[in-house]
């Protein structure tokens, strides 16, 4: 029987995502000057106020106020009428030194013996619905908001957009779990005030359907473009007016959009947030590593859909175990347990092994903090950082290394594909 599945996304100007971006910008700045930094930072944003809290062990001192304001300005909160503005908001820091009790469980004389920074379970997922091996509903949801932000910055075709926005996409699937059409698209976007609410609603709906949707549709391959049709139900700013938004409309916190950050409700999630954590925290690093495994296995043809789980004990370097679910789509004549055993031989899943394989001690995290940590395009960029003494340095880093298909040949050899 046909069924519906829905995923959502939020923009970089959403309050929770502002918090994530501030936390990850601080991570990047600490790692840029001291790659051995241990950092766990939470951010809260509300009307005219930012609160930073957390634990840090690092050789570098940073001007956290300056970094915070730079992030807010880049997002686009630059006008006083937003009631949250980069240059005028308050920034309160309650960051303190990392607990020695936690640190002794992580650091070792030999880095290879580094223990996990926390206990927990982490999941990675991939399927072959899209070219980036991501669930389609989430992929379209992200694209809608990424293009909406691009239109806001261009300030040419749509002139009234403000930074806060959310999207949601509902797909219809057939009995073979193949997407057959888009059933519903929801877009809520913050906007400047209009003289008439009726004019406002008509204008925004028209612009979303006639300007935004074609830009997103053009990015997709023909088979996916065919899912767009004249029967799609659109809910554009369904509550009506959306002038009050951002941190003035809703308090934001680091780590409250973990499903948006991962797979949009497909597969599973271990429950731990990513942003604000250095890679010694396996909540983050092992989630990236399991995504890397799942993506390479699907790309190699092991299965059409794969979920990989891993678990750790705090202070212990070796994982408790690896679990695999191929949802009955395995193509290699092995049980899911046998596939998990092969994975354990192919991939070093100790915290140090993950950090070194994926280059996670580099300042690569600001780019992850909006529009999803998974399904992104790996690329090398140059980033410049300034410390509290006014010194600057430029570092070339590789982003989204867990999205690389660099293990496909090894996976094929291991499974005889």
Q: Is the dihedral angle over the CA atoms 99, 118, 298, 136 positive or is it negative?
A: negative
Please indicate if the annotation marks 217 as binding a ligand.
Answer: no
At 253 the three-state DSSP class reads strand
Please indicate if the annotation marks 42 as binding a ligand.
Answer: yes
Q: Which two tokens stand for residue 154?
A: 């261009």
DSSP 296-333: HHHHHTSBSEEEEEEEE-BT-SS-SEEEEE-TT-B-SS
User: How far from the centroid of its chain's Cα atoms is residue 30's Cα?
Assistant: 20
Helix (H) / strand (E) element for 35: namely none
Q: Which two tokens stand for residue 120?
A: 């927990």
Of the candidates 142, 144, 137, 205, the residue with the CA atom closest to the CA atom of residue 170: 137
Please indicate if the annotation marks 266 as binding a ligand.
Answer: no
Helices 408-415 and 336-346: angle between axes, nearest 10 degrees? 130
Please indicate if the annotation marks 317 as binding a ligand.
Answer: no
Strands 305-312 and 120-127: antiparallel
Please indicate if the annotation marks 233 as binding a ligand.
Answer: no
List strand residue ranges (DSSP E) for 204-304, in order: 233-236, 252-253
Strand partners, 184: 170, 233
Please indicate if the annotation marks 241 as binding a ligand.
Answer: yes
Q: Is the dihedral angle over the CA atoms 209, 127, 16, 79 positive or is it negative?
A: negative
Of the candidates 307, 298, 312, the residue with the CA atom closest to the CA atom of residue 354: 312
Contacts 24+ apart (CB under 8 A), 1-4: 1/175, 2/172, 2/173, 2/174, 2/175, 2/180, 3/172, 3/173, 4/170, 4/171, 4/172, 4/173, 4/183
Please indicate if the annotation marks 96 as binding a ligand.
Answer: no
Please indicate if the annotation marks 277 as binding a ligand.
Answer: yes
| Cα atoms in the 13 Å half-sphere on the side-chain side of 306 | 32
Please indicate if the annotation marks 391 as binding a ligand.
Answer: no
Please indicate if the annotation marks 203 as binding a ligand.
Answer: no
Annotated binding site for ATP: 14, 164-166, 241-242, 250, 256-257, 273, 277
Annotated binding site for K(+): 42
Annotated binding site for L-methionine: 55, 98, 250, 281
Annotated binding site for Mg(2+): 16
Annotated binding site: 14, 16, 42, 55, 98, 164-166, 241-242, 250, 256-257, 273, 277, 281
């Amino acid at each position: 029987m046909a069924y519906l599945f829905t995923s959502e996304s939020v923009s970089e100007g959403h309050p929770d995502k502002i918090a994530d971006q501030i936390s990850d910008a601080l991570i990047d700045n600490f790692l840029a000057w001291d790659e051995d930094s241990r950092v766990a930072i939470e951010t809260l944003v509300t009307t005219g106020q930012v609160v930073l809290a957390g634990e840090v062990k690092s050789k570098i001192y940073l001007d956290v106020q300056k970094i915070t304001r730079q992030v807010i300005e880049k997002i686009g909160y630059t006008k006083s009428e937003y009631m949250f503005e980069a240059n005028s908001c308050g920034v309160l820091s309650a960051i303190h030194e990392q607990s020695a009790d936690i640190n002794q469980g992580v650091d070792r004389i030999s880095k290879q013996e580094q223990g996990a920074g926390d206990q927990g379970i982490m999941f990675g997922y991939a399927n072959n619905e899209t070219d980036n091996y991501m669930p389609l509903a989430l992929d379209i949801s992200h694209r809608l908001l990424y293009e909406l932000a691009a239109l806001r910055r261009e300030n040419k075709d749509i002139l009234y957009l403000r930074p806060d926005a959310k999207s949601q996409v509902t797909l219809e699937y057939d009995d073979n779990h193949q997407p057959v059409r888009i059933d519903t698209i929801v877009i809520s976007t913050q906007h400047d005030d209009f003289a008439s609410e009726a004019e406002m609603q008509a204008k925004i709906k028209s612009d979303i359907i006639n300007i935004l949707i074609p830009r997103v549709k053009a990015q997709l391959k023909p088979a996916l473009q065919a899912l767009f049709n004249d029967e799609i139900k659109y809910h554009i700013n369904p509550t009506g007016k959306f002038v009050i938004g951002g941190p003035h409309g809703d308090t934001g916190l680091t780590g409250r959009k973990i499903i948006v950050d991962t797979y949009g409700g497909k597969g599973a999630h271990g429950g731990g947030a990513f942003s604000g954590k250095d890679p010694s925290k396996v909540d983050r690093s092992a989630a990236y590593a399991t995504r890397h495994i799942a993506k390479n296995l699907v790309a190699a043809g092991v299965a059409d859909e794969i979920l990989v789980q891993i678990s750790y004990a705090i202070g212990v370097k070796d994982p408790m175990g690896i679990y695999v679910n191929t949802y009955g789509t395995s193509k290699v004549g092995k049980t899911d347990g046998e596939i998990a055993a092969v994975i354990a031989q192919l991939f070093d899943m100790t915290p140090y092994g993950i950090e070194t394989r994926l280059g996670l001690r580099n300042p690569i995290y600001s780019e992850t903090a909006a529009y999803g940590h998974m399904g992104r395009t790996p690329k090398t960029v140059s980033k410049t950082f300034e410390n509290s003494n006014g010194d600057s340095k430029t570092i070339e880093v590789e982003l989204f290394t867990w999205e690389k298909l660099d293990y496909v040949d090894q996976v094929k050899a291991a499974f005889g594909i």
